[in-house]
Amino acid sequence: MEPGSGTEPIVSCESLGREYTRSSGRWLDRFRSVDRPTVTALSDVTLAVDSDEVVGIAGPSGSGKSTLLHLLAALDVPSEGTVEVAGTDVTGLSERKRTRLRLDHVGIVFQRFYLLPSLSARGNVALPLVQRGVSKRNRRERATALLERVGLGERVTHRPDELSGGEQQRVAIARALATDPAVVLADEPTGELDSATSERVLDLLTDVADERAVILASHDDQALDRTDRVVRLRDGRVVRDA
């Protein structure tokens, strides 16, 4: 699907900016009223992503890729501008409402996986469904089906330390899909994988884009080549969107 095709974007931001306060680390700074130095992570970023679209976010370290993903996922709030996800302006929502929005509409694949070591692959995938109050039987069936979809049907009872890095990444992708989200965001999804495993993970991410939007932040050309378009950031600003 081409950007600007007339459909309502599933996730978008306008004039987005994010600044962070830089502390000197001195105890007395907590009590001073003077302005502290700030770091601008993003400035004036506007972006719209349609369903069925795979968009890459590229740029050198420190360019704002992860910050942008966190804002689009409603994990953080902007200093200025707006973010909309599935038709909802998330900018002014409370943390509780943003958590619910993520649970209903957003799947996140973190670079470090963040799988719970005490749970099996199936238990990790089912976690978002527990939060949504899905019955044990239904979440077990859903998690098993998703693990089969990502090629781990024989590994459902294995814990993370019994899985390879690529298998853990596929568990993380299955978990991100558990609630059938409208958008999946992935932060460096192939950053710690070999080429062959990266290809399989990218196959999964591009395949699920038939049903939802996928946004991935990466410095990996192999990953960016699989996207419909690439948004390039430099010093927190969009320098190219094509």
Question: For the chain, which residues make up each domain, given as ranges?
Answer: 11-24+38-241
pLDDT score at 36:
63
Q: Fill in the amino acid letter for 29.
A: D
> What would the two tokens of residue 65 be?
């890729």
Say what percent of the chain tops pLDDT 90. Answer: 71
Sole residue written with tokens 């600044």: 19
* pTM for this predicted structure: 0.87
Domain 11-24+38-241 = CATH 3.30.2080.10: no
For 157-178, the pLDDT digits (tens) are 999 999 999 999 999 999 999 9
User: Does the structure show a pLDDT above 60 at 28?
Assistant: no
When pLDDT is averaged across residues 57-76 and rounded to a whole number, the result is: 94
When pLDDT is averaged across residues 24-39 and rounded to a whole number, the result is: 53
pLDDT score at 47:
96
Residue 89's Cβ-count burial label (10 Å; 0-12, 13-18, 19+) is exposed
When pLDDT is averaged across residues 1-6 and rounded to a whole number, the result is: 42
User: Does the structure show a pLDDT above 80 at 25?
Assistant: no
Would you give the distance in Å from CA 220 to the centre of its chain?
A: 16
121-131 and 165-176 helices cross at what angle (nearest 10)?
20
Give yes or no for a contact between 146 and 125, defined as CB atoms under 8 angstroms apart.
yes
> What would the two tokens of residue 129 be?
């469904």
